[in-house]
Structure 1
Amino acid sequence: MKKLLAALLFAPALALASGAAIHLDRAPNVQGDNAALQSGARTFVNYCLNCHGASFARYSRLTELGLTEQQVRDNLMFTAEKIGETMRVAARPDEQKRWFGAAPPDLTLIARARSSADGSGADWLYTYLRSFYVDEKRPTGWNNVVFENVGMPHVLWQLQGVQGLNKDHKLELLVPGSLSAAEYDKLIGDLVGFMVWLAEPHAGFRQNLGLGVLAFLVVFFGFAYALKKAYWKDVK
């Protein structure tokens, strides 16, 4: 019983320690770059939205990326009919659970969830989506350096190519994909950037508002301090 309690107490620490050993590549910051975010949205609906939903976001919000409603309808809406509908997956959760053993998680807040879990957010997603390798021992035939024994297959393998682990347990490209390494990294950077935006579309406004509030407080403090000096100058 004591051993079980000790294991439960120290499990989170062990998980963090094991996660700390994984090197995470820095994800490019594409917030504010509508062209990159539009590219990420296109990749998201073509490759991710087949299994994962984004049920806390609506297609109409994509117009904030510089797209018209008609462009969203023509190019990004495959599982909905109305622009105000949520970005849900076509398959039902019970069907996915029967097919995959568990329903794939919703991706609306995945960037923020990863940030809360390990403080890396976009970096974790960026590294994860570039770290799949072939593994015949896994049911899907794929494994991942960042997320060991992950149940998700490498849906982008035709773009990246096929990676394997060499004798030093480092990733190496075995079969080239349709994109170069730089092109694939750019595609993943745009995709991750879109997921970061999707998790908090108003992050830029919030940050700018915060800076404005801080600037106001600094100016207000200056006036308040000058008033205090003027008020108390004759008091000894």
Structure 2
Amino acid sequence: MKFVKTFIATLVLLPALALASEGYPLDKAPDRANNMAALQNGAKLFVNYCLNCHSAVSMRYSRLKDLGLTDDQIKNNLLLAGDKVGDLMTTHLSVKDAKAWFGAAPPDLSVIARSKSSEAGSGPDWLYTYLRTYYKDESRPTGWNNMVFPNVGMPHVLWELQGVRSAEFEEVEDEHDHAKKTIEFKKFTMLTPGKLTPLEYDNEVADLVGYLNWMGEPAQSTRKRLGVWVLMWLSLLSLLAWRLNASYWKEVK
């Protein structure tokens, strides 16, 4: 009975989740899974721009050696003052200060890509679009808003790289009900250029999202490679079992 109730609740929630994922269309995140240089750059961006407020308590700096980095490279380029290679990726921002500044403590990002996958289809696509659709909004406490996450509490930490943009909206009449109007996004307008060109910024965000996706499951590539070998081995065993079965029954007859 409990299973039936759970199943029915899931069916009821599916349309709601589908509607929640509608809105601003998600862009496809470039695949960085096998690009070690891109993942290393993503790790650097994460430490420099995300780890100031967010933490990743399921990840140790030492695990970055899986990306081809040495202990010295991690110490010289990625460690914060006082941290050690074996330490967890924690933030020095206190929960009290975080709540005072942002209204809530920033979430841990250890498995953010995987959690967004369950909420909005593709986690990397959601993150990739989210980090590229910030715009200036003086009505918000932080002065920023986002197309993917309306009324977001997090400010645009990458604004120096992307620049400052505004968003233009327009009223659109419903084709079936002319008395009904909706507000639709029209375009972004660059107010202050950033340090990077739009193409360069998109590439940096892709590296960061690639790292966040890798961090959610560092052994993902190994698991997939191992899975291929396991399936090949099982296929071979199945073939041998099939031929052995045929040989056995041949003798019985």
TM-score by length of 1: 0.91
Q: Confirm whether residue 185 of structure 1 aligns to residue 187 of structure 2.
A: no
- The aligned residue for residue 180 of structure 2 is none
Residue 89 of structure 1 corresponds to which residue in structure 2? Answer: 91
Equivalence for 1:53: 55
Is 2:168–2:189's contact at 8 Å kept on the other side of the alignment? no
| 1: CA distance, partners of 2:238 / 2:127 | 42
TM-score (norm. length: structure 2): 0.85
Residue 247 of structure 2 is aligned to residue 233 of structure 1: no
CA shift for structure 1 position 65:
0.9
The separation in 2 between residues aligned to 1:59 and 1:97, in whole angstroms, is 27
Q: Distance in 2 between matches of 1:106 and 1:180?
A: 30
Does the 8 Å contact 1:131/1:171 carry over to 2? Answer: no
Query: 1:134 pairs with 124, 133, 136, which one?
Result: 136
- Residue 170 (str. 1) matches residue 186 (str. 2): yes
Amino acid of the structure 2 residue aligned with 1:126: Y
Q: Is the 8 A contact 2:169 2:187 kept in 1?
A: no
Partner letter of residue 29 of structure 1?
D
Q: Deviations over 1:183-236 (max 9, x none)?
A: 000000000000011110000000111111111111111111111111001434
Q: 1:124 aligns with which of 100, 106, 126?
A: 126
Q: Aligned partners of 1:234, 1:58: CA distance in 2, in Å? A: 60
User: Structure 1: which amino acid aligns with 2:19?
Assistant: A
Report deviation, 1:15: 4.9
2:238 maps to a residue whose letter is F
C-alpha separation in 2, matches of 1:142 and 1:125: 17
Following superposition of structure 1 onto structure 2, how do residues 199-218 of structure 1 map, counting pairs within 5 Å? 199-218=216-235
| 8 Å contact from structure 1 (residues 27, 123) kept in 2 | yes
* C-alpha distance in structure 2 between counterparts of 1:42 and 1:104, whole Å: 19
How much does 1:167 deviate? 3.8
- CA distance in 1 between partners of 2:109 and 2:221 (Å): 20
Question: CA offsets, 1:46-77, max 9 Å, x none?
Answer: 11111111111111111111111111011101
Residues 109 and 187 (structure 1), Cα distance of their counterparts in 2 relative to 1, 3 Å cut: same
Distance 1:10 1:163, change over 3 A: farther
Report the alpha carbon displacement of residue 150 of structure 1 after superposing the two structures with TM: 0.4
Aligned CA-pair RMSD: 1.7
Equivalenced residue count is 228
Residue 33 (structure 1) aligns with: 35
**1: distance between equivalents of 2:26 and 2:144?**
20
Following superposition, the deviation at residue 39 of structure 1 comes to 0.5
Is the CA contact (8 Å cut-off) linking 1:79 and 1:90 kept in structure 2?
no
The list of structure 1 runs, each at least 4 consecutive aligned residues, that deviate by more than 6 angstroms after superposition, is 9-12
Identity of aligned residues (%): 50
Gaps of 5+ in 2: 1-10, 171-184
